[in-house]
């Protein structure tokens, strides 16, 4: 029995979370890198 009764949805919340983290991380990474370079 290959069917385990679980519906594979196309939109996964992990993909949404990865997109949000990526969109937030790129500008913040730039700011943190600039701040880190400024204070060294």
pLDDT digits (tens, 9 = 90+) for 2-40: 555 566 667 788 899 999 999 988 888 888 888 888 888
The total number of structural domains in the chain stands at 1
Q: Is residue 4 domain-resident? A: no
| Of 20, 23, 24, nearest in space to 12 by CA | 20
Q: Is residue 40 domain-resident? A: yes
Q: Is residue 9 domain-resident? A: no
Q: Is residue 29 domain-resident? A: yes
Please report the pLDDT score of residue 7 as a whole number.
Answer: 63
Q: Is residue 20 domain-resident? A: yes
Please report the pLDDT score of residue 25 as a whole number.
Answer: 87
Q: Is residue 21 domain-resident? A: yes
Decide if pLDDT at 1 tops 70: no
Q: Is residue 7 domain-resident? A: no
Full residue range of the structural domain in which residue 36 is found? 14-40
Q: Is residue 39 domain-resident? A: yes
DSSP secondary structure letters along the chain: ----S----SS-HHHHHHHHHHHHHHHHHHHHHHHHHHH-
Q: Is the pTM of this model over 0.85?
A: no
Which residue is listed with tokens 């937030």? Answer: 24
């Amino acid at each position: 029995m290959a069917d385990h009764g679980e519906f594979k949805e196309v939109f996964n919340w992990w993909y949404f979370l990865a997109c949000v983290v990526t969109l937030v991380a790129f500008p913040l990474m730039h700011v943190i890198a600039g701040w880190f370079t400024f204070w060294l």
